[in-house]
Amino acid sequence: MLTKKQLDLLDFINKRLQRDGVPPSFDEMKDALDLRSKSGIHRLITALEERGFIRRLPHRARAIEIVRLPEALEPSGRAGFEPRVIAGDRPEATPAAALPTQTGSALDLPLLGRIAAGTPIEAITDGASTVSVPGNMVAGHGRHYALEVKGDSMIDAGINSGDIVIIRETSAVENGDIVVAQVEGYEATLKRFRRSGDMVMLEAANPAYETRLLRKEQVEVQGKLVGLIRTY
């Protein structure tokens, strides 16, 4: 059984292959499905491949082959056929740590720009934008702020490109915490923090990225992850 997004993507790829003879780019797929980032397309493509509907050809750009189509997309299956699909790509159960948005009062936090979870980007810069978050998400002492995630190096920790992360400003963190770290005074990144003697390890949550090993004086911890907001 395919989710609605998976079915929509398969249909889009199939139509573009029939029309142009080549599959669409990931940017075109993202725009067609109205997704905020290409990481969502990567997950849908992987799901379709695992279910045997498409095949990615190695060492070739934009090389996707349709292996089979579900009955809902077959020409003979369109008339009078109502596909049974799951609405959306949402989890079947609410995550244990999820907070109901109607609980408590909302607070406006400053949205200070983007944070790299992948290829390095510019450091945090103050901005005028704000984001509303549930009050119980920022319980405790200290200043809090929000950042938009750019990149996919933390996807195995449940953090996707386009997510908004809520950060408590602090330099006191423990091994295993996900932190905002500024490297050598200019590069801001979101990574899992570990300290060993005079060295600091900034670990990605994606096997495609290597752990960075730095001297402790090269790294300034600027905050700790305390919450996340995702828009579907």
Instruction: Give the CA-trace dihedral at 117, 182, 129, 35, to 10 degrees.
Output: -10
- Per-residue tokens: 206: 């994606």
Using the predicted structure, report yes or no on whether residue 74 has a pLDDT greater than 70.
Answer: no
Cα 169 to Cα 179: distance, rounded to the nearest angstrom? 10
**Which active-site residues does the annotation give?**
153, 191
pLDDT reported for residue 180? 92
- Are 181 and 225 within 8 A, CB to CB? no
pLDDT reported for residue 176? 94
For the ranges 133-147, 162-176, 210-224, the lowest mean pLDDT is seen at 133-147
**H-type helices in the chain, by residue range?**
4-20, 26-33, 38-50
Cα 41 to Cα 58: distance, rounded to the nearest angstrom? 18
Mean pLDDT, rounded, of the chain: 79
For the ranges 3-12, 92-101, 222-231, the lowest mean pLDDT is seen at 92-101
pLDDT band at 86 (very low <50, low <70, confident <90, very high): very low
For the ranges 42-51, 74-83, 125-134, 208-217, the lowest mean pLDDT is seen at 74-83
pLDDT band at 82 (very low <50, low <70, confident <90, very high): very low
Residue 189 CA to its chain's centroid (Å): 14
pLDDT reported for residue 174? 93
For residues 40 and 57, the model is more confident at: 40
pLDDT reported for residue 84? 41
Q: What percent of the chain is modeled with pLDDT above 70?
A: 78
Helix, strand, coil percentages for the chain (3-state, nearest 5): 25, 30, 45
CA angle 221, 224, 227 (to 5 degrees): 155
**Counting beta carbons within 10 angstroms of the beta carbon of residue 29, is it exposed (0 to 12), middle (13 to 18) or buried (19 or more)?**
buried
What domains sit in the chain, N to C, each tagged with a CATH number?
A: 4-77 (1.10.10.10), 106-229 (2.10.109.10)
